[in-house]
Amino acid sequence: MKANVLKNCRNAAIGILFLSAFSCGGSKTSADLTETTWKLKTMMAPDGVEVTVEENLPTLIFGDSMKLSGYSGCNYFFGSYTASAQGRLVMNVTGSTMRLCPDSQIEEMFLRNVARIGKYEVLQDTLLYLSDSTGVKLCTFIKKQ
């Protein structure tokens, strides 16, 4: 009987540790986004195919006071964002430089995706997933070292 009680206590303690470890890791704050330059790794093309970007990598910087800036593959942009602990994210690009670029396909695709963002998820402080409001992944970023 005594061994059975000890076994149940041990199992309960392991269960509590397991649940607390995973519930804490899933919480989000906008601080997960800030103080970091995020470099684009992949994004969704208009035809639904995931594209890997290798040159002129777009970037995102989520600054203090909800300021957004970055590089779209040709031009630099700025704007604002709002983020919640529940993973909601809205980005508003309000201005950019106006360089003439020989190929603006990546930039156009990137900015189109940015306008559709509704959710975010940061994994292990190194990966950033941006999705539309229904959960369809639009962009994957890695933390710039």
The strand ranges marked E within 14-118 are 37-44, 50-52, 59-62, 67-71, 76-83, 89-96
Residue with tokens 């975010």: 120
Give the global pTM. 0.77
Write out the CATH class of domain 30-143.
mainly beta
Could you report the per-residue pLDDT of 100-110, keeping only the tens digit for each? Answer: 988 889 999 99
Domain boundaries, the chain: 30-143
| HSE-up of residue 48 (Cα within 13 Å, Cβ side) | 1
* The two structure tokens encoding residue 92: 């508003």
Question: Residue 31 — pLDDT band, cuts 50, 70, 90?
Answer: low
On the question of pLDDT at 56 being above 60, the answer is yes
